[in-house]
Structure 1
Amino acid sequence: MEPGDVSEVTIDGCSDLYYVDTGMYDTAGYGAAYVLDADRPTIVEAGIGTNYEYLLEALDEIGIDSEALEVVAVTHIHLDHAGGAGFLVEACPNADVYVPLVGAGLLAEPSRLVAGTKAAVGDQWQYYVEPEPIPDDRIVEIDDGDVIDLGNHELHVHGAPGHAFHQVIFDDPVNETVFTGDAAGIWIPDLERIKETSPPSDFDLEECLDDLETIRELDPNVLCYTHFGPRDVSDDLDEVLDEYATVLTEWVEAVDAKREELEADRAVIDYFVSNASLPGAWNERKVRAEAELNTRGVLDSLEE
């Protein structure tokens, strides 16, 4: 897929479901948002705000009028998942943003969220836009155990705080699909490879492993990754989740060991950035930026 492309999810058992490459960080195959053409039309994940027009164009291509959109549901308030929500509700007058309770206020008044994002992503901020504040009356707070009723579909809300304390995942039982946010890692379909995601400042390895067990208990046939795209796991869910548990655990152990060797955190970061490589996916700039962000997140967690 290329930025702006829209594809229907055709995995057996799925209906009414599409995904869009949002062109996040000027990189194809990194950021996805999902459109559920339900009785109450829904967008799951909103991107960073840049290229939010791709989502409006996707609605049009699918046959959903902007005035018909009712739900924009985000798994957490990191701006690569929620940064476009304000732009979407401006363009879609009947849509509300469904956002985890503990982060909702930061989307209504995003200045602290912007400051934290700038500190976390560094030079990558050039790919963002300042998010539009979301009016309080357009925000619906959600929490673990809630159900978003979409008519012929439902999104069941499950807490998944390992990546960020404000993260949830969504289970659509009709499609036997889980929208993973960042709880199941980064899936690179072109390489059939799963990668770690461990950004500052809330990453917690043990809680991440618990989140994988939450997904296992839901027993989906499809994982819809924000990074990137739908994945058929009907025959190998356990292997997929076990693989990410191993990838994430070994990644934390590698950072910890290098920290013991080099002592200075900056030296550890520079080591992993200089050795970052992902042939066949993204681009070198994004690969290096990802390595820095994930290393910093692990180092922060080791301080606790």
Structure 2
Amino acid sequence: MAIGDLATVPRTDIHYVDVGAYDVPGYGSVYLIDAERPAVVDPGLGTNVDLVIDALDERGIDDLEYVVTTHVHLDHAGGAGHLLDAYPGATVLAHEIGVPHLIDPSRLVAGTKAAVGDQWQYYVDPKPVPEERIESLSDGDTIDLGDRIIDVVHAPGHAPHQVVLHDRADDVLFSGDAAGIRPRGADELHPTSPPVNFDLETCLDDAATIAERNPETICFGHFGDATFSPDLMDEYADVLSSWVEQVREKRAELDTDEAVIEHFAETADPIEPWGRRKTRAEHRLNVRGVLGYLDTAEE
């Protein structure tokens, strides 16, 4: 799948376009739910919002009802305000903790710049979402798309403003970053543990919650869909726990946290299709998140 391509989740009315976040093919999966009340799930960075609009046009979707965010990290929600410009009737839906950060994204931008470093070159400044065009979500809410109902399930381990979304009609679960990352063709899941809110125990609870839902299909926040099995979440729980332990052990060996971060970045085997640059950047980000978690756990 190349940047700009539109794919269909098998046996569903759900499609996704690859917006090529960080110039990595497949990394930015923006989902389109072709329902009676159409919705976009996770509009991406905003840098390639034109690709989302083109995909909606290709599906014949002229009037967008909702722009739904699994969480407000900018690689998932940065395009929300930009997309509203093209669809004046659309409303943004986000967890209640994330809503203020989309209305005034200044703190979100500052935190993202601090976390991603030189990767900021791939972002654009998000447009503030007008207060009258955003509604809050809470655990247990539902989103009515007319011909289907979406369950909203709070999943705060990756970030306190994260939810996963379960489309009952097609039995598809949109996992955001609650289920890790699996590049196309990869044999294993990779952890996502960014600062400042990563919490291992809560992430493990979220994985168990997804396993209990046991959808037919999981739509990852990156690299598209996959057939689901509860074993997938057992695998992710093991991956996360092992990852945190590796960082904990290396921190005990080295003198500074910066040395720990650089150790993992420099020794990481390149992951395709990320390549060496993005693999190193991901490791730096994820190690910082684990170190912050370890600090909090020790308090």
Same fold, TM exceeding 0.5?
A: yes
**Residues 1:136 and 2:127 aligned together:** no
**Residues 1:8 and 2:3 aligned together:** no
Q: Is the 8 A contact 1:121 1:293 kept in 2?
A: yes
Alignment of 1:169-180 (within 5 A): 169-180=164-175
The residue number in structure 1 matching 2:287 is: 295
Task: Determine the C-alpha separation between the residues in 1 that align with 2:27 and 2:187.
Answer: 14
Shift of 1:276: 1.3
Task: Determine the C-alpha separation between the residues in 2 that align with 1:278 and 1:124.
Answer: 17
The residue number in structure 2 matching 1:266 is: 258
**Residues 1:257 and 2:252 aligned together:** no
Task: Determine the C-alpha separation between the residues in 2 that align with 1:272 and 1:49.
Answer: 29
Q: Is the 8 A contact 2:24 2:273 kept in 1?
A: no
Amino acid aligned to 1:57 = D
Shift of 1:188: 1.2
The residue number in structure 2 matching 1:63 is: 60
Amino acid aligned to 2:123 = Y
**Residues 1:52 and 2:49 aligned together:** yes
Amino acid aligned to 1:266 = E
Task: Determine the C-alpha separation between the residues in 2 that align with 1:277 and 1:61.
Answer: 38
Task: Determine the C-alpha separation between the residues in 1 that align with 2:128 and 2:24.
Answer: 26
Q: Is the 8 A contact 1:29 1:282 kept in 2?
A: no
Task: Determine the C-alpha separation between the residues in 1 that align with 2:68 and 2:106.
Answer: 21
The residue number in structure 2 matching 1:163 is: 158
TM-score by length of 2: 0.97
The residue number in structure 2 matching 1:22 is: 19
Ranges in structure 2 where 5+ consecutive residues have no aligned partner: none
Q: Is the 8 A contact 2:6 2:15 kept in 1?
A: yes
Query: Which digits, 9 at most, give the CA deviation of each residue in 1:60-102, with x for residues without a partner?
Result: 111111xx11110000110011000000011111110001101
Shift of 1:270: 0.6
Q: Where do 4+ consecutive residues of structure 1 move more than 6 Å? A: none
Q: Is the 8 A contact 2:28 2:223 kept in 1?
A: yes
Aligned-residue sequence identity (percent) comes to 52
Q: Is the 8 A contact 1:191 1:281 kept in 2?
A: no
Ranges in structure 1 where 5+ consecutive residues have no aligned partner: none
What is the number of equivalent residue pairs in this alignment?
A: 296
Query: Which digits, 9 at most, give the CA deviation of each residue in 1:90-121, with x for residues without a partner?
Result: 11111100011011011011111111110111
Task: Determine the C-alpha separation between the residues in 2 that align with 1:125 and 1:42.
Answer: 27
TM-score by length of 1: 0.96
Secondary structure of the corresponding residue to residue 98 of structure 2? helix
Root mean square deviation of aligned Cα: 0.9
Task: Determine the C-alpha separation between the residues in 2 that align with 1:270 and 1:219.
Answer: 38
